Amino acid sequence: MPRTLSLIAAAFLTVALVVGCGSKSSTKTTSAVTSTTTSATTSSGGLVGTTGPGFTITLTSGGTAVKTLAPGTYKMTINDESSSHNFDLFGPGVSKKTSVQGTGTVVWTVTLTKGSYTYQCDVHFASGMIGHFTVA
β-pairing verdict for 68-69 and 37-38:
parallel
Mean pLDDT of 38-51: 66
Burial class (CB in 10 A: 0-12, 13-18, 19+), 129: buried
The string of pLDDT tens digits covering residues 54-104 is 999 999 999 999 999 999 999 999 999 999 999 999 999 999 999 999 999
Mean pLDDT of 113-127: 97
The string of pLDDT tens digits covering residues 18-32 is 334 443 333 333 333
Could you tell me if 39 and 72 are in contact, meaning their C-beta atoms sit under 8 angstroms apart?
A: yes
β-pairing verdict for 47-51 and 72-80:
parallel
Q: State how far the Cα of 94 lies from the Cα of 110, in Å rounded to an integer.
A: 7
Q: Please tell me the CATH superfamily of domain 24-135, with its number.
A: Cupredoxins -  blue copper proteins (2.60.40.420)
- Residue 44 reports pLDDT greater than 80: no
Segments making up each domain of the chain, as ranges: 24-135
CA angle 110, 113, 115 (to 5 degrees): 120
